[in-house]
Structure 1
Amino acid sequence: MTHPRSSLPTTSSARLAAVALAAVTGLIAASPAATAAPDRIGADATGAGTLAAPDIPFANVKAHLTQFQSIATANGGNRAHGRPGYKASVDYVKAKLDAAGFTTTVQQFTQSGSTGYNLIADWPGGDPDQVLMAGAHLDSVSSGAGINDNGSGSAAVLETALAVSRAQLQPTKHLRFAWWGAEELGLIGSRYYVNNLPAAERAKVSGYVNLDMVGSPNPGYFVYDDDPAIEKVFKDWYAGIGVPTEIETEGDGRSDHASFKNAGIPVGGLFTGASRTKTAAQAAKWGGTSGQAFDRCYHSSCDSTTNIDDTALDRNSDALAHAVWTLGTSQPVPPGDSYENTADVAIPDNGPAVTSAVAVAGRTGNAPAALRVGVDIKHTWRGDLVVDLLAPDGTAYRLKNSSSSDSADDVITTYTVDASSETANGTWRLRVQDVASRDTGYIDSWKLTF
């Protein structure tokens, strides 16, 4: 994970986007034959059955960490951008994926005078217009091997991808896994990838799941609260094993999910804490030591294989697999009826909330458990905005919180809301408030899809 408020240097490179994209987006092939009829469990947010995820072999995850440590030890003690240990890490992960039947692409960029690398791995099959991604940054800081930050996330994503291969999974969505370079210099690799995706390809990414520091030695269990559907998948999984979670705030905007979020792509993820101190209340519910950092070796030379909580890493690896199986094998949602308001509504700078109304009529019963709220808000600093959906009875559903670190323009995305307790017919409202000064904007349009 990069430092808070880290600068975002401009990537200088020859534009290799066309070559990289041709390799990445032309990877859709016929699905491999399934070895057995899959079991289906539960239901996703749409009510469609989803495949049961396997238990991720924790010994395999730890073996990847051992390899990352060995690579760092043999290459000056780190796996940082521009250092031989980083490229050796890319080669290690790529070899595993190639052997497992993935189509891999190494995307190059230039940062700080050195060549950087993103590794992209596509699993054959699935809807090419609905791409589910999971990723982690593979680089460390120069002061250490980066085994928790972020060997832990990289290993969990790798072993989940290998589990997809072992299961010969036939997903409904196209699955793409990624390992990013130069995150520690300001999200450089993931930003390069997203910025060089044409708009049509960007629109095909239905969600991105990020793992950054998921084995902290004094762990917390934090879930990103960006996309409600992804957040719910992780929260439900943890509730199912009796482990409470909290909303992740320490790393908000500081890891690679921000590159996707700023482009309007739904994001989610997991985190076990970095330099912040665990409170007494958190220690009471999670164990560990209050008054100490979640990771006392954050960005330090002691971030080695001894700097991992096995239980946290095991749980987060299984949680990721659950998310990939749940989101990646859910049945497509059929097109629903949409109700839209395209009238512009000005948002006062640091002023009172404004609303835009949509009237819904002629429907029977309650709204769906996966009511889709498409939002197009033009604004020069989206972090100033708080956005809510108001049901006909006035019940508020929070779509977006304000955040001082969310410095991108505009809010152009689709949220999913469990509105099954609300009567469908009536006047629904989008409520938007600018809670800070100096930036302005307006509601361009919004719609409800049932």
Structure 2
Amino acid sequence: MRAGRGGLAAIAVLLLAGCGTGAAPAAQAVPTPDPTLAARLVATASGDRAFAHLDRLQAIATANGGNRALGTPGYDASVEYVAGALREAGFTVDTPSFDVRSFAVQDQRLTVGGAPVEATAMGFSPSGNVTAPLHVLAMDATSGCEAADFAGTPAGAVVLAKRGTCPFGVKSQNAKTAGAAGLIVANTEEGPFDGTLGDLPDTVPTTGVSSSVGDALAAKPGAVVTLVLATTTQEATSRNVVAQTTTGDPARVVMAGAHLDSVPEGPGINDNGTGTAALLDVALALGPAPASQNAVRFAWWGAEEVGLVGSTRYVEALSPEDAKRIALYLNLDMVGSPNPGYLVYDGDDSDRVGAGPGPAGSAAVEQVLTEQLAAVGVQGSGTDFDGRSDYGPFIEAGIPSGGLFTGAEETKTAEQATQWGGQGGAPYDGCYHRACDTVANVDRVALDRNVDALAGTVGRFALTLSGVPGRQ
């Protein structure tokens, strides 16, 4: 474990104008870039100190009903904790608010052929009481992502599609356009299946099932399905936390983010306290005025768990000029899973899995993250840009992106267990979206390695954007 303390810079902090909207700060004297910045940032960053932030987030959840979810006192206290730590270190901090919908389920039932089937309502699914025949789409990697996938769907049917490639809300919108009355999405893994349709209109009642249930249903086209969902959606307000260095070129911003909210079911210490804590530790180690070539901006997102809302609202609010100032985006979401993988988002699509490559420059981001993991003795592997975390809005805006991930409910393979240790055939995180996602659910070695990998990557790009093209 690293045990360094304190920031890398002690230069007076100047006012950061427009941090909440992405506007560039006013021109100022820039210190000569320090070529040792990346190495010193790695040496200063501390997995132990990141874990201390997790202890604070756990205490916040414990004191506020057991979670830090959207619209709760626990989330507000989390915002104040992160913003307060940054301000104490000398950062100017914005906490811009945004409107968001909150979602609750009162009733959910699925029967097929008269037999009950275990299923979970998708977040922001509309209510419905549907009895109709089951129509099975092609169960491939892009199932339900294109309108053409629904050719031949009987009007009023309940459609079965497979998870993959596009957001669940897109599949649900396509189902409604095709005249379907409901949608079942089959997971690609076993275990509980949480998902959300996001902030999208024109969807149908939608529920999710495990991969084995999906396989069984795929063999029953035409079976009578009854899908009952009683849900409510309410308007709420949430906040992001944003802070930027006052040094470095404000026209070339290295941005790193992590979502701050938990699900209502638990305190969210791995998901995503670990990303929050790693990012906060690196920000405090870097300090508000480092000797860097490029500016560095840090963000903690609200309402990720209900459809990436905080990051989406942030990107939507950027002017075209402000968006171009963001040279790249680094995402931290679950970096201390108890049965960890060491996964790096596949910026160049070299794995040929799921979605295609990220915007130009994403390959360089993947390469640097992989090199930084190697520097702490870990061989990273690619993971798909599947749209499940806050890199999504940045990719849509054409911003090169990447990030670190130690795995959620997916199963670690035997080969990965040989490569990284841990248990093959078991989830990376068996407490994903559950009450047991506490400080006891965190692998401290994985957290420490990812803190160092993030620190090295931020430091490297703060000095040079080699491999990352400018955007017109």
TM-score, scaled relative to structure 1: 0.65
Matches within 5 A, 1:2-401: 24-25=22-23, 27-28=25-26, 30=28, 38=34, 40=36, 52-55=40-43, 56-112=45-101, 113-165=235-287, 168-226=289-347, 227-249=362-384, 252-330=386-464, 370=467
> Does the C-alpha gap of structure 1 residues 282 and 51 become closer, same or farther in structure 2, counting only changes over 3 Å?
closer
Counterpart CA distance in 1 for 2:257 and 2:439 is 21
Please state how far the C-alpha of 1:222 moved relative to its aligned partner. Answer: 0.2
Spell out the pairing of 1:394-409 with structure 2 (5 A cutoff). Answer: none
| AA of the residue aligned to 1:277 | T
String of CA shifts for 1:47-86, please: whole Å, max 9, x gaps.
xxx6653321222101100000000011111000111100
Change (3 A) 1:146 1:206: same
Q: Distance in 1 between matches of 2:60 and 2:24?
A: 32
Instruction: Report percent identity of matched pairs.
Output: 47
Q: Which moved more, 1:227-236 or 1:294-303?
A: 227-236
Q: What is the Cα deviation at residue 31 of structure 1?
A: 5.7
Q: State the one-letter code of the partner of 2:394.
A: F
Tell whether the 8 Å contact from 1:39 to 1:52 is kept in structure 2 after alignment: no
Q: 1:22 to 1:185 in 2, by over 3 A?
A: closer
Structure 1 equivalent of residue 129 of structure 2: none
Counterpart code for 1:99: E
Shift in alpha-carbon separation, 1:154–1:54, aligned structure 2, 3 A: same
Which one-letter code corresponds to 1:300 in the other structure?
A: R
* CA shift in 2, pair 1:61/1:22, >3 Å: closer
Query: How far apart, in 1, do the equivalents of 2:100 and 2:419 lie?
Result: 42
Q: Which amino acid aligns with 2:371?
A: D
Rate the CA distance shift 1:177–1:202 in 2: closer, same or farther, 3 A.
Answer: same
**In 2: Cα distance, 1:92 partner to 1:371 partner:** 33
Q: TM-score of the superposition, structure 2-length normalised?
A: 0.62
Unaligned runs of 5+ in 1: 1-18, 42-49, 334-369, 375-412, 415-450
Structure number with greater CO (CA < 8 Å, separation at least 6) is: 2
Hey, what's the Cα distance between the residues in 2 that align with 1:39 and 1:173?
13
- What CA distance in whole angstroms lies between the structure 1 residues aligned with 2:292 and 2:468? 23
